[in-house]
Structure 1
Amino acid sequence: MSKITCVRTLRLPERPKLLWVEIETDEGLVGLGETFRGAATVEAAVHELIAPVLIGRDARQIEAISLELTTPYVGFHSASAEIRAASAVDIALWDLKGQRHGIPIHEALGGACRERIRVYNTCAGYDFNTQQGARREIAASDRAQGPYDDQLAFARDPAALARSLVEEGYTAMKIWPFDRFARQPGANSISLAEVRQGAETFRQIREAVGDRIEIMCELHSLWDSTAALRICQALEPFDLYWVEDPLCKMDDAKALADLRNRTQVPICASETLGGSTAYRDLLAAGSLDYLMLDLVWCGGFTEARKIAALAQAYNKPLAPHDCTGPVALFAGLQLALHAPTAVLQEVVRASLSTWYGELVTELPRIVDGHALAPSAPGLGTALRPEVKRRPDAILRETRG
């Protein structure tokens, strides 16, 4: 038996949306998980709902624990705080499994289908999406915070940004030049001038680097179907790899299928979904071309491998999400190495070059636009010991 003896959470004020979960066993092992958004709320769910169930439990019973933590009376089969908590716990349990057997998680899942996976750079800044409050809006007075302030770059000089990425070996990039025109979630109108202004960014990239880079457009679930269709049709001449999360309700399979049938750009969905059932419904309705999932939101590895099996059954390419934290990146990478239809892993070079490395002991190796397979047992990384010793660290433990 591998008895769970402690469930620990950690938050940092400078990264207020992130929560890390560590699970200790009587074997002397420590498994690491992570989730993102509503960190204090998820922390409460971990200790009040989940930890009492886990203490004394056999950490090898991952499937049984996952079922218990994602039943309708806990997580309601959604991307709720409860499911985010369950996701972090599940990732930690799989980390423990890999460590226990001395193998990386992609091997524990059944083995790798590839030794490396192509990455794409989400063109964010150094603190993208990590602070509380609204998304960053680029102002005329803004100055680059460093060489990889890619959100500022795609707003100011997308051609130079594309050349920079190609020079570093990247073959795919993602940008979101239409967000500034969405005045509230579900915005129901966008003017022709605004559409042309957003599309101009893609034209400049294509003129600068031609077909040497794939381009994705992120719409961040901000639009209703009419505005999303107008944007998608305007982007058709630029041969985009995908348009991601175009609708404000990404679980609306019928509306998404209708959009997909009226535009030539491929549709990617969706980092916002939790549990395999939501993906099954989108796939059955013919709503997507690329399947995106986030392991720290969808239920961890246990649900993610079921979603990956659905993607394989429907012959759809899979692309794990990460622009949130280093554990999410490692989790996505481990799944992407294993899942038969995986084609890409998201990275943010601004985060990889700075704060990710300040938090964890290892980072993925990126070579020629590909992430190489980690060989260390489990996830392949751990929290740096000094992170827990920080005076501002918010630690909470539940022990048996």
Structure 2
Amino acid sequence: MALIKSVKTIRVKQYPNLIWVQLETDDGLIGLGESFRGASAIEATIHDEMSSSLIGKDARHIQALSNHLSKPYLGFNASGVETRAASAIDIALWDLAGKRSGVPVFEALGGASRLGVDVYNTCAGYNFNSSAVGNKRRDIGKDDVASGAYDDQIAFMRDAGELAISLLDEGYKAMKIWPFDVFANKNRHRISREDLKSGLAPFEKVRKAVGDKIDIMCELHSLWGGQAAESICRGLEDFGVAWVEDPLHKMDDNYELSMLRSRVDVPICGSETLAGVSSYKDMLSAGAVDFVMVDVAWCGGLSEARKIAALAEAFNKPLAPHDCTGPVTLVAGMHLALHAPTAIYQEVVRASMATWYRDLIDGLPEVKQGMLHAGSEPGLGITLSEGLLQRDDLIVRESV
């Protein structure tokens, strides 16, 4: 038996969007999970609604526990607080499964399809998503000054070509930028020719600097109406982008998404914002995307992500796990990418990996020549750092 005897949540005031879950079982093991956005609401949901369904249950029964937690009476097939809470718990259950068997999570999921996965750098800065969430973090002004060598959001707005050279020098094969976000604040249903030209400029600089040596993804952050999204996609056609990600304000509008895909000559990627295998089934059945993106901390956890990966395989679509949120999500996504047959990329933010991710967890894998490689450590292969657990702004709640 591996009965769950306690459910603990951990968060810190400095990073108000992040929350970690630790599940302790009576065989002395601790499983680690994570979710992002609305950490205090996730904390309340876990302890007030979910912990009583976990205490005393056998942690080996991952599917039964996941089915119960990820399919509540309200919030089913949405990435709301119930699903984000269930995701963190599910990731912790898989961490326990790997530790109990003495194997990495990718092996516990069914084995590796590959022992290394390519990464792309999301060109964010050091504080992107680490504190407040909102459009202000996407608006780079003339007075903003880079705070380090990896302040990549400022870099892509100032000289995306120079940034591309920097990434290639470190072995990265792909980069993702979002120069159109600031214009959505004006009118998400229309983009002027002037703003379109301004948003396209970084892509032009990359191609002039490095040619086709690096893939470029364009992130639209679900900010645009159909007509404006089509204008942006048409403008991007000349630059050979690898994909345009989450172009529409409503990424569950599969009809409009499929119509957009049929009208433009750029690949469409979606969507980190979706949850539940049924949402992805509907999206893929509608012919709405070329690439499938999934966030293991938002979709229902590794249990649901594994099903979504199988669905991507059935529809012969490439898979790319998302992370621009937290270190545990990154590592869990990497394990999924090592396992899933059609996975082609794991997202990383080199600014985060070089700084605050490493302050929070021990065992973070390193990007080497543009890839993350499988390790042999059991479970996820990471733990919360002692420095994190000794912080003065630590907020801990436990249910037993």
Distance 2:387 2:54 in 1: 27
SS of alignment partner, residue 201 of structure 1: helix
- Code of the residue aligned with 2:20 in structure 1: it is W
- More deviation in 55-64 or 362-371? 362-371
Structure 2 match to 1:336: 337
Q: Residue 359 of structure 2 corresponds to which residue in structure 1?
A: 358
Partner SS, residue 207 of structure 1: helix
Displacement after TM superposition at 1:289 (Å): 0.1
- What is the rounded CA distance, in whole Å, between the counterparts of 2:326 and 2:52 in structure 1? 27
- Which residue matches 2:84? 84
Query: How big is the shift at 1:266?
Result: 0.1
Q: Distance in 1 between matches of 2:176 and 2:77?
A: 29
Task: Give how far 1:75 is off.
Answer: 3.1
- TM-score with structure 1 setting the length: 0.98
What root-mean-square deviation, in Å, do the aligned CA atoms of Structure 1 and Structure 2 show? Answer: 0.9
Give the match for residue 73 of structure 2. 73
SS at match of 2:90: helix
Letter in 2 for 1:60: R
How far apart are the structure 1 equivalents of 2:364 and 2:213? Answer: 26
Residue 134 (structure 1) shift = 2.4
Aligned equivalent of 1:35? 35
- The AA in structure 2 aligned to 1:298 is C
- Aligned partners of 1:8 and 1:396 also within 8 Å: yes
Aligned to 1:269: 270
Does the 8 Å CA contact 2:72/2:82 hold for their aligned counterparts? no
The Cα of 1:319 is off from its aligned counterpart by 0.1
State the Cα distance separating 1:74 from its structure 2 match. 4.5
In the aligned structure 2, how far is the partner of 1:58 from the partner of 1:241? 44
Preserved CA contact (<8 Å) 1:31 1:95: yes
Aligned length: 398
Which residue identity lines up with residue 345 of structure 2 in the other structure? L
Which sections of structure 1, spanning at least 5 residues, go unmatched? Answer: none
Shift of 1:367: 1.2
Q: Does 1:142 align with 2:141?
A: no
Give the partner amino acid of 1:42.
I
TM-score normalised to structure 2 length: 0.98
| Cα distance between partner residues in 2 of 1:71 and 1:41 | 18
Is structure 2 residue 321 aligned with structure 1 residue 320? Answer: yes
Deviation at 1:50, TM superposition (A): 0.8
% identity of equivalent residues: 56
Aligned mates of 1:133, 1:32 — CA distance in 2: 24
Q: For 1:1-400, what aligned pairs fall within 5 Å after superposition? A: 1-135=1-135, 136=137, 137-183=139-185, 187-399=188-400
Q: Using the alignment, how far apart are the partners of 2:370 and 2:379 within structure 1?
A: 24
Task: Name structure 2 gaps, 5 residues minimum.
Answer: none
Residue 69 of structure 1 contacts residue 75 of structure 1 at CA under 8 Å; is this kept in 2? Answer: no
Secondary structure of the structure 2 residue equivalent to 1:118:
strand
Distance 1:96 1:380 in 2: 11
Runs of 4 or more, structure 1, over 6 Å off, are none
Offset of 1:72 from its aligned partner?
4.2
Amino acid at match of 2:140: I
1:181 Cα deviation after fit: 0.4
Counterpart residue identity of residue 290, structure 2: D
